[in-house]
A = this chain, B = another copy of it.
Amino acid sequence: MPRAVVLLSGGLDSATTLAIARDGAFDCHCLTVDYGQRHHAELDAAARVAAVLGATEQRVFKLDLTAFGGSALTDRSIPVPETPTRGIPITYVPARNTIFLSLALAWAEVLGARDIFFGANAVDYSGYPDCRPEYVRAFEALAGLATRAAVEGSRLTLHTPIIALSKADIIRRGTALGIDYGLTVSCYQPDPDGRACGRCDACRLRRAGFAAAQIADPTRYAAGAA
């Protein structure tokens, strides 16, 4: 089985991406980044998801993006918005996906993997610039020049299997692959038990996806979640 690095956050999208990579018979090495996000529920979820979906290994890489801040997810003085906003929301973390993909690229080279899986979505998403197809292509072009592996002729493929799917279609696909989405955490501000707020952008997109897919939403919501 070819080795792949899979970026795994613990949310719905990256869990589905991992299931698709496993379904494609990849030997999956999951990379989860502890970047100083507001809560650990997502990291706990990533470990559960990796185990249940048959990842070969899962590593948590620490890196403190609160040193830079600039986002509601990396600066606790900025509240997570609970109503839709215009444009790119303040939950955008500067250059986060570029940093994550760079780390995945490093690990892929060490593992001898030619494939990286990345759960970007550009349909039911928050408008983050580093989730768009043109961004993905630009990173793949960079990867084709960045490494010893590339110079020696190994071509890296950056797979984004859910980039063009609606949230409902992502959920249908994952459900068909047997994912228990109750294991995943998408919320930006879950309570200490990992229960979702129901109000943030990530919760809204996720809840609407289950409704549109006509699949029961297994998310554990906090008491009082909208």
Interface flag for A103 (CB, 8 Å): yes
In the complex, chain A residues 134-166 whose Cβ is within 8 Å of any chain B Cβ: 134-135, 138-139, 141-148, 150-151
Give every chain B residue within 8 A of A63 (Cβ-Cβ): 62-63
Contact call B109/A105, Cβ cutoff below 8 A: no
Contact call B95/A147, Cβ cutoff below 8 A: yes
Interface flag for A67 (CB, 8 Å): yes
Contact call B107/A68, Cβ cutoff below 8 A: yes
Contact call B138/A150, Cβ cutoff below 8 A: no
Interface flag for A110 (CB, 8 Å): yes
In the complex, chain A residues 94-122 whose Cβ is within 8 Å of any chain B Cβ: 94-99, 101-103, 105-107, 109-110
Q: CA separation between A102 and B93, bound complex, in Å?
A: 12
Give every chain B residue within 8 A of A67 (Cβ-Cβ): 59, 61
Give the size range of A's interface with the partner.
Answer: 35 or more
Contact partner of A129 (CB less than 8 A), chosen from B69, B101, B151, is B151
In the complex, chain A residues 54-70 whose Cβ is within 8 Å of any chain B Cβ: 59, 61-65, 67-70
Contact call B95/A106, Cβ cutoff below 8 A: yes
Give every chain B residue within 8 A of A97 (Cβ-Cβ): 146
Contact call B135/A138, Cβ cutoff below 8 A: no
Contact surface of A with B, Cβ cutoff 8 Å: 59, 61-65, 67-70, 88, 92-99, 101-103, 105-107, 109-110, 129-130, 132, 134-135, 138-139, 141-148, 150-151
Q: Which 7 A-B pairs have the closest CB atoms?
A: A95-B106, A70-B110, A94-B109, A99-B102, A98-B102, A138-B142, A95-B105
| Interface pairs (21), CB distance under 8 Å | A65-B106, A68-B110, A70-B106, A70-B110, A88-B148, A88-B151, A94-B106, A94-B107, A95-B147, A96-B106, A98-B102, A99-B99, A99-B103, A129-B146, A129-B147, A129-B148, A129-B150, A130-B145, A135-B142, A138-B141, A141-B142
